[in-house]
Amino acid sequence: MSNQPLPAVPYLKIPEGAEPYLEGQKCGQCGSTFLGERSVCSKCGARDQMSPVTLPNSGKLYSYSIVYRSFPGIEVPYISAIVDLDDGTAIKGNLINVEADPEHIEFDMPVDVVYADALGRKDADGNSYLSFFFQPKA
């Protein structure tokens, strides 16, 4: 079992002695950014032009749903959100610290990316995980 939390998703990086961050891959030919590892650009088809980039910790809410029915053991309701980060990369996650009510959720509301424990979820070996969330910009 690891003493340090593990990343909940592969594109969340936890460097030793520094703040966690989200990592994308940017195509050197067409400039598109992607979440996660890849070697070929799915927009322009360029090969071996990908280089890692640190994604910004702020963006705007693009779309969402408020989820009331999920699988057994998943706490509801929660807001499933699509966010456009400031560099244009689209990312999905939970929107927190806002009431789960459409009256309180506005398209294009500015959000920050924050990092926290993965809702207490542990894997079969008892490891803890670090995840990311969106919350309204302070």
Partner 1 sequence: MTDAYIVGVDMIKFGRFPEKTVPQIGAQAALMALDDCGLSIQHMQALYCGNLGQASGMVGQRLLQEIGQTGMPVVNVANACATGATAFREAWASVKAGLYDVVLAVGVEQMGKGLLGGGGAKTGIPKEGLIGSGTMPAVFAEAGMEHARHYGTTFEQFAKVSVKNHHHSTLNPKAMYQIETPLDEVMNAEMISYPNTKLMCSVNVDGSAAAVICSEKKARELGLMDRAIKVRASVLASDPWQERDLVMPDVNSCTQKAAKEAYEMAGLGPEDIDLIELHDCFATAEILHYGNLGICKQEDAGRMIDEGEVALGGRIPVNVSGGLLSKGHPLGATGIANIYEVSTHLRNEAGSRQVEGAKIGLTHVIGLGSACAIHVLERAS
Binding segment for partner 1 (CB under 8 A), chosen from 13-21, 48-56, 114-122, is 114-122
Site for partner 1 in 52-91 (CB under 8 A): 62-71, 74-76, 78, 80-82, 84, 88, 90-91
| Strands, E assignment, 28-109 | 33-35, 50-54, 58-67, 78-85, 90-95
How many angstroms separate the CA atoms of 121 and 77, rounded?
17
CB nearer partner 1, residue 42 or residue 97: 42
- What is the closest distance, in whole angstroms, from the C-beta atom of residue 18 to partner 1 in the complex? 23
- What is the closest distance, in whole angstroms, from the C-beta atom of residue 42 to partner 1 in the complex? 6
CA 38 vs CA 5, 21, 56, 114: distances in Å: 25, 18, 19, 25
Helix (H, G, I), strand (E, B) or coil at 126: coil
- Please tell me whether the peptide bond between 7 and the residue prior to it is cis, using omega within 30 degrees of 0: no
Q: Which residues bind partner 1 (CB under 8 A)?
A: 6, 8-9, 32, 34-36, 42-43, 62-71, 74-76, 78, 80-82, 84, 88, 90-94, 102, 107-108, 118-119, 121-123, 129, 131
